[in-house]
A and B are shown apart, each in its own frame.
Chain A
């Protein structure tokens, strides 16, 4: 039956309901398992095959040789599109996608994330 105000049911429900809006910094949604956040490099397993560099669509990965079988990795997070192809391409799974997503900042240069072999060197 045609009538004006056919949407009434949901309106009456909504008056008694909490708003659907998630007030972001205070409330947070659960991040799903598959989420692709900031890429993380593990220098211990990297063999320097450069597959990640070849496959990155945004040219956001740089691998440099810093010593015998030792490599450092730089992510240009400002350019990264968080597709996760680098972690797929990596044969040794040295790159993984974390769940960290709050990367906004005022200075673009802070988004260049270099990871050398510091963890190994400390041992």
Chain B
């Protein structure tokens, strides 16, 4: 028996919450090779942004991802504000950080639950998602919505926080901290959990750097990298916080980083709420954005997220480009998967916290006859083609 078995996973499989395709070559229970295919969930948001005004784009960009919606929205407005050379009020900056860190808590608790589910530990999944409701409720109190918060606007934030909301938020954070500590204890002591993550999916530090891993995936491999500290945006420059890293390099290391970051995020939110500066929350900015371009970096719960915006002086952007953190981390998955067992596939894939709809893109252009001939078109034509003209009824 020299032939290896191909184990296809996806685009429809209980392991994946979003469509993605893996082709595993397996030898018994061992993985010999892995192949990852994207492109099942491409939505063309970047192109659609070119047909809308900046205000409209904000809500579109926010809907790139359901979990890190504040990430994309903040990143986009920061890019636009940078082009406009606008300085936003410091209260708005703090409020952005509050929502961003609450989002990080919610994302990491969600991840912990998913990780538990992937290794069949459904109780951890149910309980961590139950306690995630607390942070979701806080977000709803602050912004008015559980997901797609709609907190940002170009020039500041849309909702202010009253004294009452701040005290509600602090009370919620207290319960949240107790529960997070409890989950941290479970994750570090439960034998069945530890045995499934200890030494699994090892990503050495040099590979993490050469493969461009970001966020908790990189920090779990000992790469000390955090955009919040390295290139502070919003109010992060004024807030004291620690960057959590782990030298383990396996899934356990990434788990510990995420749990540590959750606790750190609770501290950041508490600091922000206690030191919230007074003042306005928004500055009025013109609808038209002057010619220019900007790249902004943002530490999303999953890692570094990059937005590029080019403005042509009109109400609509000329180009919007998003590099979601999953795109950077996907590359390292293959290295982690090889020589592991089939049973480790779910947890290794889940360990980078993949968000496929953020990442997905298509690049193949096929002519009708099936040949791979591509055509070269100029920017103006491409832009014209991308914009739909048919108005909605």
A and B touch in the complex (CB under 8 A): yes
B150 at the interface (CB under 8 A from A): yes
Cβ contact within 8 Å between B189 and A83: no
Cβ contact within 8 Å between B186 and A34: no
Closest chain B residue, CB of each to CB of A5: B190
Task: Knowing A7-B123, A35-B140, A79-B392 are in contact, say whether A85-B191 is a contact too (CB < 8 A).
Answer: no
Q: How many chain A residues have a CB neighbour from B under 8 Å?
A: 31
B42 at the interface (CB under 8 A from A): no
Task: Knowing A7-B123, A55-B55, A57-B56 are in contact, say whether A32-B189 is a contact too (CB < 8 A).
Answer: no
Cβ contact within 8 Å between A57 and B60: yes
Separation of A6 and B127 alpha carbons in the complex (Å): 13
Separation of A59 and B52 alpha carbons in the complex (Å): 11
Separation of A5 and B192 alpha carbons in the complex (Å): 8
Give the size range of B's interface with the partner: 35 or more
A56 at the interface (CB under 8 A from B): yes
B159 at the interface (CB under 8 A from A): yes
Task: Knowing A35-B140, A36-B150, A84-B144 are in contact, say whether A4-B392 is a contact too (CB < 8 A).
Answer: no
1/0 per residue B42-79: CB within 8 Å of A? 00000000001101111110010000000000000000
CB within 8 Å of A: which B330-375 residues: none
Closest chain B residue, CB of each to CB of A22: B133
Q: How far is the CB of A111 from chain B (nearest CB, A)?
A: 13
CB within 8 Å of B: which A78-98 residues: 79, 81-85, 88-89, 97
Interface centre among A1, A6, A79 (most CB of B within 10 A): A6
Cβ contact within 8 Å between A4 and B191: yes
1/0 per residue B140-165: CB within 8 Å of A? 11111100101001000011000000
> How many residue-residue contacts, CB under 8 A, span A and B?
77
B182 at the interface (CB under 8 A from A): yes
Q: How far is the CB of A82 from chain B (nearest CB, A)?
A: 8
A47 at the interface (CB under 8 A from B): no
Cβ contact within 8 Å between B59 and A57: yes
A18 at the interface (CB under 8 A from B): no
Set of chain B residues within 8 Å of A89, measured between Cβ atoms? 55
Task: Knowing A10-B127, A84-B150 are in contact, say whether A54-B190 is a contact too (CB < 8 A).
Answer: no
Cβ contact within 8 Å between B140 and A32: yes
B83 at the interface (CB under 8 A from A): no
Separation of A10 and B59 alpha carbons in the complex (Å): 39
Set of chain A residues within 8 Å of B56, measured between Cβ atoms? 55-57
Separation of A1 and B189 alpha carbons in the complex (Å): 6
Separation of A34 and B165 alpha carbons in the complex (Å): 11
Set of chain B residues within 8 Å of A59, measured between Cβ atoms? 391-392
Cβ contact within 8 Å between A32 and B194: no
Task: Knowing A32-B140, A32-B144, A34-B143 are in contact, say whether A6-B55 is a contact too (CB < 8 A).
Answer: no
B384 at the interface (CB under 8 A from A): no
Separation of A11 and B121 alpha carbons in the complex (Å): 13
Q: How far is the CB of B157 from chain A (nearest CB, A)?
A: 11
B185 at the interface (CB under 8 A from A): yes
Interface centre among A2, A58, A83 (most CB of B within 10 A): A83
Q: How far is the CB of B140 from chain A (nearest CB, A)?
A: 5
Separation of A56 and B310 alpha carbons in the complex (Å): 22
A9 at the interface (CB under 8 A from B): yes
Cβ contact within 8 Å between B189 and A6: yes
B130 at the interface (CB under 8 A from A): yes
B114 at the interface (CB under 8 A from A): no
Our pick among B142, B185, B192 for the contact of A4 (Cβ within 8 Å) is: B192
Set of chain B residues within 8 Å of A54, measured between Cβ atoms? 53
Separation of A103 and B141 alpha carbons in the complex (Å): 21
Set of chain A residues within 8 Å of B189, measured between Cβ atoms? 1-3, 6
Q: Which of A's residues lie within 8 Å of B, judged by CB?
A: 1-7, 9-11, 20, 32-36, 54-59, 79, 81-85, 88-89, 97
Cross-chain pairs A/B with CB under 8 angstroms, 10 sampled: A2-B191, A3-B189, A3-B191, A4-B190, A4-B192, A6-B189, A20-B130, A32-B141, A88-B153, A88-B158
The 8 closest A-B pairs by CB, nearest first: A34-B144, A6-B189, A57-B59, A57-B56, A6-B190, A4-B191, A32-B141, A83-B150
